[in-house]
Amino acid sequence: MCIICGDCNINLLNSNHASSSNFTSMLSSENIIPQITVPTRITENSMTLIDNILVRRDNIDTRCISGNLISGITDHLPNFLLYDKTTNQPENGSKRPLVHLYSQTNLDNFKHELTCVKTWGKLYQLPGDSVNELCEE
């Protein structure tokens, strides 16, 4: 399973915009599914879906529940993803604690995995000279 989270600054609610269409096509080609489908940034004049949780599931039985939290702190709504990993437990019953092991080896392995992704270049081919142009409705 691969989970990508971030403020992508591409409004997925605007499917007629070229950058949105290109972005969703690229995700679909890699079997990556947006988990958030409602607006994540709300102002007096607009609602956009620019904060994303994108998931590629290796196991179709894996269950995910996602959504937004209501918060008055900012105009961006915090997102959440609940991932049921019980279907992926090892059969021997071992339970490894959920911790991040920060080491040079793990960092190098992560960097190597990122270089194996073949579609990064498509992100740089999106039209527009700036992030603001990509987000215009």
* Residue percentage of the chain with pLDDT more than 70: 69
Tell me the C-alpha distance between 62 and 1, whole Å: 9
Comparing CA positions, the residue from 9, 25, 45 lying closest to residue 136 is 9
pTM of the complete model: 0.57
Write down the pLDDT at residue 130.
Answer: 47
Task: For residues 135 and 75, give the distance between their C-alpha atoms in angstroms, rounded to a whole number.
Answer: 16
* pLDDT tens digit sequence for 42-73: 888 989 999 999 998 776 666 788 888 887 78
Secondary structure of residue 50 in the 3-state scheme = coil
What pLDDT, in 10s, does the model give residues 71-108? 778 888 888 888 876 655 555 555 555 555 667 787 78
